[in-house]
Structure 1
């Protein structure tokens, strides 16, 4: 049986916090870039509420002082790591790309030279 989502245990209260955070902030607290709050949920650039102290580590999903605006992509990279780790990882991925970005069609063609 799947675990209950602790963020939705009090859905009305979480919706209130989410609306308040989205109204108060315009910039992702992890990468520092603007967040397009008009994008539908589920897209990498869509707005999500991230907890400074993750719920999995005892943070409250209902404490406004623990909640910040983030891109979905940045929030997923952070997971329950520290914000500093996430910021470093986001910079690294933006500079060098991610290992999963390399596709077979993007690799250079190498031949043995005896064609």
Structure 2
């Protein structure tokens, strides 16, 4: 494969699609300020739920998640443990 696949049209299209949804960070749950400079720690980045180094697909929309740059960097190539869902009522 020639060049960086993250600068190709399919990856840029996937990033634009995810950005347009204005989702909160999937790792911490807080809102993302989509107007911040890309170098800001709380800016938007595309994160892969299944890391690429562990067999995740670069261009699969089902593997793409919105995340803060800081949260994405802290996660590294680990797969985060899922938080247990809270019950809707007190039992």
Report the TM-score range of the alignment, normalised by the length of the smaller protein: 0.7 to 0.9
Of the three residues 28, 35, 38, the one matched with 1:41 is 38
Superposition pairs of residues 48-63 of structure 1, within 5 angstroms:
48-63=45-60
Which of 20, 24, 33 is 1:27 aligned to?
24
The two structures, once aligned, show a CA RMSD in angstroms of 1.9
Compare CA radii of gyration and give the structure with the larger one. 1
Aligned to 1:14: 11
CA distance in 1, matches of 2:22, 2:76: 20
Higher helix share goes to which structure? 1
Q: Residues of 1 paired with 2:34 and 2:58: CA distance? A: 20
Residue 90 of structure 1 corresponds to which residue in structure 2? none
Structure 1: gaps of 5 or more residues: 88-115
Number of residues of Structure 1 aligned to a counterpart in Structure 2: 81
Match of 1:59, SS state, is coil
What TM-score, normalized to structure 1? 0.64
Q: Which moved more, 1:60-69 or 1:10-19?
A: 10-19
Runs of 5+ consecutive residues of structure 2 not aligned to the other structure: 84-91
Name the TM-score, length of structure 2 as normaliser: 0.80
Separation in 2 of the partners of 1:67 and 1:31?
16
Shift of 1:25: 3.7
